[in-house]
Chains A and B, each alone.
Chain A
Amino acid sequence: VYILTQTRVKEVRKGMEFDSHGFSIKGRLTPDEVTFAVLRTLALAGGVVALFLVPLRPEHREHLFPLIAAFIGYKGLLYLSLYLKPEKARRLFLLTLSFDLAFVFVLIWFTGGFESHFYLLFYLLIALNAYHFGARVGLTAASASGILYLFAYFLAPQSALHWTHLAARIALFGLLGVSLGFMADRERKAKDEAERLNRELEEALNRLREAQQRLIHSERMATIGKMSAKVAHEVRNPLSSISLNAEMLEDIIRACPGPFMAEAAEILASIKTEVEALGGVTEEYLRFARLPRPKPEDDSVNEMLEELLDFIKGEASQRQISITRTFSPDLPPLRFDRALLRQAVLNLIKNAFEAMPSGGELVVGTCYRDGQVQVTVTDTGAGIEEGFLGRVFDPFYTTKDHGTGLGLTIARQIIHDHRGTLTCQSVPGQGATFIISIPKGEAQPYA
């Protein structure tokens, strides 16, 4: 029985791993409980089948069918209860143990008392319950079986067997219950310990994986930073001489008016525009390359945002964009670097402005949720397709003609440096929301 049960546990466990959403009772009970339920059913169904085969006493034959009906009804009730209240499985199993014992008792009584071989079912019940619940329940089941067996012995007509046989059988009940129970207890402890170690190992592995991801991310950012600085440096030198030369050329063109000079002036003006745009791009590259570490101080996020929104009010009205502020008055003070967080939110606002080329509404809000101070920036622009949501923070990813693809990367880096997260939600066609979450407790930036 022990080996059989072990094998079943393994099989059921394997089944659970592959199909945890399969049979609903399986999903709601532990693998051990499922095994236990299956074995009980097998044991007692075997008993019922045997009832048809063994010769019954004539006076008991009439009780056979009501007994089987009662047994089936009782089993149905048990499984229904297990399905409805899986959390009470232990209690239900203990409760039904007493019914099962009683059933075996009736079986023995009806089939000849001491002469009946159904006393073997007591062993099965004791073994199963000792294995499942441990030594204490094992011993209780053995004692109950002993007492019931004695009753059956006295109720049925006496047999020729000596009382010592009865005593030996009852003593074996106890021995089986206690020894198997202890073994099960020991195995359960070992299993719990192994599971605990496994959990710890998994947690450590997850932490390690996270640290590795963070390291890879920061190394990648550092490399991109160096590259940005190099590109900016290499571009700004020739850009400066192009700019100076263009301006000198402008002087020459202005000094000699002629039929072609108007066109030349136009061409020059477009060169100057491009140079200016390129200057702005390299500016952003350098800002990314030189992003300083935050120097956090206790400050008010609402105040910082009020000041920032006042600053961009003019540009917003030029772009036909209305600004709505939904600040929580109960926002606790937070430790953050005002200049950097301002930069991050400004980048999100710039991004929102560019998403609404023909005007719209910008909503900037704050709230305090689950120990996190949150800032949300919502626009009513075109939104972001689901497939691109994961990429908007990638360095150099842009959908704009003149974008550097660094604005949102810089914003996210700043938030990460504050141990926070920056995420994006969007319904295409209805706009996008960027959510900054910074934990209130964690004041220290990454070392």
Chain B
Amino acid sequence: MKDEPRANLLIVDDNRGHRQALAKLFSKEGYKVALATNGEEALDILSKDSFELIITDLRMPRKGGLQLLKEIKALSPQTMVIIVTAYGDYISYHEAMRGGVFEYLNKPIKRNEILAVAEKALIWRKAIGNNLE
């Protein structure tokens, strides 16, 4: 299991502490984790590598989570995106849902909650992939 990562995960968050906490949590669970501090950086990394799952913050300098979601879905619709925000509201929730986000979570998040959502996103991704094949 250690040789074969469970999934390629990109974490996008401008808050260093939160980014690193998520990275540590998912690394321990066997994910291969890459980090970006904003939307632009994330798109840079995405152009070089492919990811099954992206966990992104909503409000970030340069490029925010909603714009990033839009561009990821245009680039590779199968990539699952989870939004985690400290400033959630109904409007951005609605927009994210229409943009194809898998889940929209409010900070502070719980370990079990984010792990379960990530797990579920990967199962969905697999199911959709099988259907498409």
Contacts and interface: CB of A to CB of B under 8 A. Distances in A.
The A interface, classified by DSSP as helix, strand, loop or mixed, is helix
A279 B21 CA distance: 17
A243 B87 contact: no
A244 interface: yes
A237 B106 CA distance: 10
B130 to A, nearest CB: 32
B76 interface: no
Contacts of A237: 15, 17-18, 86, 107
Interface in B64-94: 84, 86-87, 89
A124 B87 CA distance: 84
A233 B21 CA distance: 18
A232 B87 contact: yes
Interface residues of A, number: 19
Nearest to A286: B87
Interface in A280-316: 286, 290
Most central of A243, A244, A279 by chain B CB within 10 Å: A244
B133 to A, nearest CB: 36
Nearest to B88: A286
Contacts of A238: 15, 17-18
A286 B110 CA distance: 19
Contact of B25 (A229, A248, A275, A279): A248
Given A248-B24, A248-B28, A286-B87, A239 B107 contact: yes
Contacts of B50: none
Contact of A236 (B89, B107, B111): B107
Contact of A244 (B86, B87, B106, B111): B111
Nearest to A275: B108
Most central of B20, B22, B111 by chain A CB within 10 Å: B111
A245 B17 CA distance: 10
Given A240-B108, A244-B111, A247-B110, A233 B87 contact: yes
B59 interface: yes
A241 interface: yes
A241 B20 contact: yes
A248 B111 contact: yes
Given A245-B21, A248-B25, A290-B89, A240 B59 contact: no
Contacts of A247: 110-112
Q: Interface size for chain B: under 10, 10 to 19, 20 to 34, or 35 or more residues? A: 20 to 34
B123 interface: no
A242 B111 CA distance: 11
A275 B21 CA distance: 15
Contacts of A286: 87
A243 B89 contact: no
A243 B22 CA distance: 11
Contact of A241 (B17, B106, B110, B112): B17
Contacts of B107: 236-237, 239-240
Contacts of B97: none
A436 B16 CA distance: 46
A291 to B, nearest CB: 11
Interface in A204-257: 229, 232-233, 236-245, 247-248
A290 B89 CA distance: 8
A240 B107 CA distance: 5
Contacts of B127: none
Contacts of A232: 86-87
Contacts of B20: 241
A248 B87 CA distance: 24
Contacts of A275: 108
B46 interface: no
B95 to A, nearest CB: 15
A332 B56 CA distance: 50
A281 to B, nearest CB: 11
A246 to B, nearest CB: 9
A244 to B, nearest CB: 4
Contacts of B59: 233
A217 to B, nearest CB: 24
Contacts of A248: 21, 24-25, 28, 111
B109 interface: yes
A240 B24 contact: no
Contact of B86 (A240, A243, A290): A240
Contacts of B17: 237-238, 241
A279 B109 CA distance: 10
6 contacts: A236-B86, A236-B106, A237-B18, A239-B108, A243-B111, A248-B24
Given A237-B86, A248-B111, 13 more contacts: A237-B17, A237-B18, A238-B18, A239-B108, A240-B84, A240-B86, A240-B108, A244-B21, A245-B24, A247-B112, A275-B108, A279-B108, A286-B87
Interface of A: 229, 232-233, 236-245, 247-248, 275, 279, 286, 290
Pairs of residues from A and B, 6 with the lowest C-beta to C-beta distance, nearest first: A236-B86, A240-B107, A240-B108, A247-B111, A241-B17, A241-B21
